[in-house]
Amino acid sequence: MCGIAGFFSTTPLLRPIAERMQKALRPRGPDAQHIVGWNAAFERANDEAPALFNALVHTRLSIIDPRPEADQPMANDAGDVWICYNGEVYGWQNDAATIKAAGPPFHTRSDTEFILRAYEHWGIGCLQRLRGMFALALLDLRAGKLWLARDRMGLKPLVYTVDGDRFAFGSTVRSVLPFVPARARGFSADAIDAYLAHRYIPAPLTVFGAIRRLPNGHMLSFDLKTREVDVRPYWAPCPRQGQSDWLATLDDAVRIRTVADRPVGVFLSGGIDSSVIACRLAALGRTDLQAFTASFPGTPFDEADDAALTAATLGAPHRRVIIVPTIRDDFGRIVADLDEPFADPSSIPTWYLARATTEHVKVVLGGDGGDELFAGYKRIAKHLRTRWRRPFKVPLPFLPTRGDGGFAKLLAELALSWRDAYVLRFSGLSPGQRRWLGGESELSRAQWWRMPDDGDDLLAQLFEIDRLNYLPEYILRKADLCTMAHGLELRAPLLDHVFVETVLGLPPAKRYTHPPKMLLRAAMPQLGALDPFARKKRGFNPPLAAWLRGDLAERLDGVGSRLAARAAGRLDAARVDRFVAYYRNGEERLGEQVLQLLFLDASLAQLNDLACAC
């Protein structure tokens, strides 16, 4: 796991630009940092060169083969193909044997070198052979091409920017910002409106109009001669029909994700998905892996006791991580580590859980993906109950309102197609609230930018909407940013693409059950009476009201004027302050939306300062 960045310019750039890009990535890769630079003719520049035309930047978290020989950027033997890579791929040894039989021996035990040599052997088609999570750059000086690729499910982030004939990329928005010229560092009004709608900014947007996000399952080519950019998908899920041994596939996905040269643990809640991972680890004989659970003592959403019982039953060591009651001192750092505006309340306890976990292990397995694969969210069943109106929508305007009552929600839903209205089942501010907070301004198209084709299988449509949007850009972005902020690698066996395609090939009656995920009961025979299905689904919720009325209360003062000045004209100062006042005067249901405004305020302030300082 690492941080990656790079730039390619027809004019020289001062070396401090590369150094600032690297500094932004350092938390993702605390073990080693390197910059490789070239002149305009791609002749290597020395480490003291004051200016560079082209550069690759890397910060490393060493998991496999921690020796310096496996550091990056890494070149082939001829020095004309380079890789800059973030992630982990698994089960590549058989393909490596094929490559070794046809060429020189490998110099490391790293998956980095495997990808590099796989590209030499198979070309960019090697992406189809990679099983795991990755964001990578392959620089082929022979062909005059730069290739970028993001893994199928979107566990790893990747953004880029094009400025005339100049190009740059990075793991995070903040790592690319030093490259962006001052004239292009403006916030995007569409992106901010999308954030208000979703609580995050969906691909391909970022908060900066000049920076784009590469969607999951996509690759990008940049021609070093013509300077042309081409973005296209390289994968879409293909159900593996007739492969009913889903449990063996899951065990394989779990097993290959335990391979590491650093200590490995597991995130364990009281829920089904993480319990499945812990049970399969035990079935594979890995009861030595320590389990880590976020604990909220004295609250109804504390799952630590349930998780402790599961760990004890499996014979695994267990550690409770008490989530601190005060976040005043850490709030600014959390906002920075989330990179750009992002308002999942569970990101705060995830950040604290990762900080504590990295003191003991450097790799953890988690249960992300189960709700998407097996329709575990309540919103899915709720939306399917409205399938009767699928062929039509009502041409009604969104009702401006500062609230989110049932009538306003109904009008908002009826004004959208059945498929587009799915966004309202999980959203930040409703269309009416966004219009009201913006002073009755017109809304941009802030539904998801990536939508599947129509079809008769409605559940499949909803799965595709989640796979293309909510899963990679909300669930997995949070997981990546909060863990990598502390140099911790998170692996997600349930999102192994072979397992995903196997599950997609199951008969609907097996995959979609009532209650959801009943298929997974067969994966947890060790638990017996400790049945996670009998527990109420509680989510991963922090003590939000206590924070907003305590540690964060002062930040709410004057938030309207600050947002009106920075949010690209999307928010009205007086109405934002009135909205906050409604919450302070007792409308608790507005708490998550007030937190959303607070995250936006803090993030835009930080990013504005960075943009001015670059």
User: pLDDT-derived band of residue 468, with 50, 70 and 90 as boundaries?
Assistant: very high
Would you tell me how many other CB atoms lie within 10 Å of the CB of residue 68?
12
* 271 in the same domain as 401: no
User: pLDDT-derived band of residue 377, with 50, 70 and 90 as boundaries?
Assistant: confident
Would you tell me how many other CB atoms lie within 10 Å of the CB of residue 17?
19
Specify the higher pLDDT residue, 336 or 380. Answer: 336
Query: Is residue 480 assigned to a domain?
Result: yes
Q: What are the structure tokens assigned to 145, written together? A: 């091409």
The confidence score (pLDDT) of residue 417 equals 84
319-331: average pLDDT: 91
Q: Is 260 exposed, middle or buried (0-12, 13-18, 19+ CB in 10 A)?
A: middle
Q: What per-residue string of b and e applies to 392-413 under the rule 16 or more CB within 10 Å gives b? A: ebeeeebbbbbbbeeebbebbb
Which strands form 166-170's sheet, in the order they lie side by side? 32-38, 51-60, 2-14, 166-170, 159-163, 211-213
Tell me: pLDDT of 335 over 90. Answer: yes
Considering only 173-182, 256-265, 400-409, which range has the smallest mean pLDDT? Answer: 400-409
Which strands form 218-223's sheet, in the order they lie side by side? 74-75, 81-89, 132-140, 145-150, 218-223, 229-233
Query: Is residue 238 assigned to a domain?
Result: no
Provide, for the chain, the percentages of residues in helix, strand and coil under a 3-state DSSP scheme, each rounded to the nearest 5.
45, 15, 40
DSSP state string for 471-528:
IIIIIHHHHHHHHHTTT-EEE-GGG-HHHHHHHHTS-HHHHS-SSTTGGGGGG-GGGT
Q: What are the structure tokens assigned to 156, written together? A: 């790893």
Q: What are the structure tokens assigned to 175, written together? A: 């790592």
Query: Is residue 554 assigned to a domain?
Result: yes
Q: What is the DSSP pairing of strand 81-89 with strand 2-14?
A: unpaired
Query: Is residue 385 assigned to a domain?
Result: no
Most confident of 371-380, 497-506, 534-543: 497-506
Q: Is 586 exposed, middle or buried (0-12, 13-18, 19+ CB in 10 A)?
A: exposed
Specify whether the CB–CB gap between 81 and 120 falls below 8 A: yes
Q: From CA 288, how far away is CA 305, in angstroms rounded?
A: 20
User: pLDDT-derived band of residue 446, with 50, 70 and 90 as boundaries?
Assistant: low
Contact partners, residue 54, CB within 8 Å, separation at least 6: 6, 7, 8, 9, 37, 38, 39, 40, 42
Q: What is the pLDDT of residues 218-260, one digit of tens each?
A: 999 999 999 999 999 999 999 998 767 999 999 999 999 999 9
Tell me: pLDDT of 299 over 90. Answer: no
> For the chain, what is the domain count?
4
Contact partners, residue 322, CB within 8 Å, separation at least 6: 295, 297
Instruction: Please provide the average confidence, as pLDDT, over all residues in the chain.
Output: 92
95-108: average pLDDT: 90
Query: Is residue 571 assigned to a domain?
Result: yes
Query: Is residue 41 assigned to a domain?
Result: yes
* 206 in the same domain as 105: yes
* 452 in the same domain as 550: no
Q: What is the pLDDT of residues 153-185, one digit of tens each?
A: 999 999 999 999 999 999 999 999 999 999 999
Query: One-letter amino acid identity for 210?
Result: A
Q: Which of 112, 77, 87 is nearest to 28 (CA)?
A: 87
Query: What does residue 237 show for φ and ψ, rounded to 5 degrees?
Result: -60, 135
Tell me: pLDDT of 324 over 90. Answer: no
Name the CA radius of gyration of the chain, rounded: 24
Share of the chain above pLDDT 70, in %: 96
* 193 in the same domain as 108: yes
Tell me: pLDDT of 455 over 80. Answer: no
Would you tell me how many other CB atoms lie within 10 Å of the CB of residue 250?
22
Tell me: pLDDT of 472 over 70. Answer: yes
The confidence score (pLDDT) of residue 90 equals 97
Q: Which pTM does this prediction carry?
A: 0.95
User: pLDDT-derived band of residue 408, with 50, 70 and 90 as boundaries?
Assistant: confident
The confidence score (pLDDT) of residue 337 equals 98
- Picking from 429, 457, 485, the residue at the C-terminal end of a domain is 457
Q: From CA 503, how far away is CA 362, in angstroms rounded?
A: 29
First vs last Cα of the chain: how many Å apart? 26
**DSSP state at residue 270:** S
Considering only 52-56, 285-289, 372-376, which range has the smallest mean pLDDT? Answer: 372-376
User: pLDDT-derived band of residue 553, with 50, 70 and 90 as boundaries?
Assistant: very high
Contact partners, residue 90, CB within 8 Å, separation at least 6: 111, 131, 132, 256, 257, 259
Specify the higher pLDDT residue, 510 or 440. Answer: 510
509-527: average pLDDT: 92
CA distances, 69 to each of 58, 64, 112, 357, 378 (Å): 14, 11, 11, 28, 49
- Picking from 233, 254, 282, the residue at the C-terminal end of a domain is 233
The conformational region for residue 45 under phi > 0 = left, psi -120 to 50 = alpha, else beta, is beta
The conformational region for residue 71 under phi > 0 = left, psi -120 to 50 = alpha, else beta, is beta
Q: What per-residue string of b and e applies to 158-186 under the rule 16 or more CB within 10 Å gives b? A: bbbbeeeebbbbbbbbbbbbbbbeeeebe
* 500 in the same domain as 432: no
Specify the higher pLDDT residue, 600 or 389. Answer: 600
Q: What is the DSSP pairing of strand 218-223 with strand 363-365?
A: unpaired
User: pLDDT-derived band of residue 22, with 50, 70 and 90 as boundaries?
Assistant: very high
* 422 in the same domain as 564: no
User: pLDDT-derived band of residue 399, with 50, 70 and 90 as boundaries?
Assistant: low
Q: What is the CATH number of the domain that holds 267?
A: 3.40.50.620
* 575 in the same domain as 511: no
* 203 in the same domain as 70: yes
Helix-then-strand count for the chain, H and E: 23, 17
* 467 in the same domain as 449: no
Which strands form 264-267's sheet, in the order they lie side by side? 318-322, 290-295, 264-267, 363-365, 489-491
The confidence score (pLDDT) of residue 405 equals 65
User: pLDDT-derived band of residue 402, with 50, 70 and 90 as boundaries?
Assistant: low
Q: What residues pair up with 147 in beta bridges, in sequence order?
A: 138, 221
Specify whether the CB–CB gap between 326 and 341 falls below 8 A: no
The confidence score (pLDDT) of residue 528 equals 84
Q: From CA 241, how far away is CA 222, in angstroms rounded?
A: 37
Query: Is residue 381 assigned to a domain?
Result: no
- Picking from 434, 457, 480, the residue at the C-terminal end of a domain is 457
Considering only 34-43, 54-63, 298-307, which range has the smallest mean pLDDT? Answer: 298-307
Give residue 439's Cα distance to chain centre.
Answer: 32
* 404 in the same domain as 314: no
Query: Is residue 47 assigned to a domain?
Result: yes
Which structural domain, as residue segments, surrounds residue 452?
390-457
* 327 in the same domain as 415: no
Tell me: pLDDT of 460 over 70. Answer: yes
The conformational region for residue 36 under phi > 0 = left, psi -120 to 50 = alpha, else beta, is beta
* 219 in the same domain as 133: yes
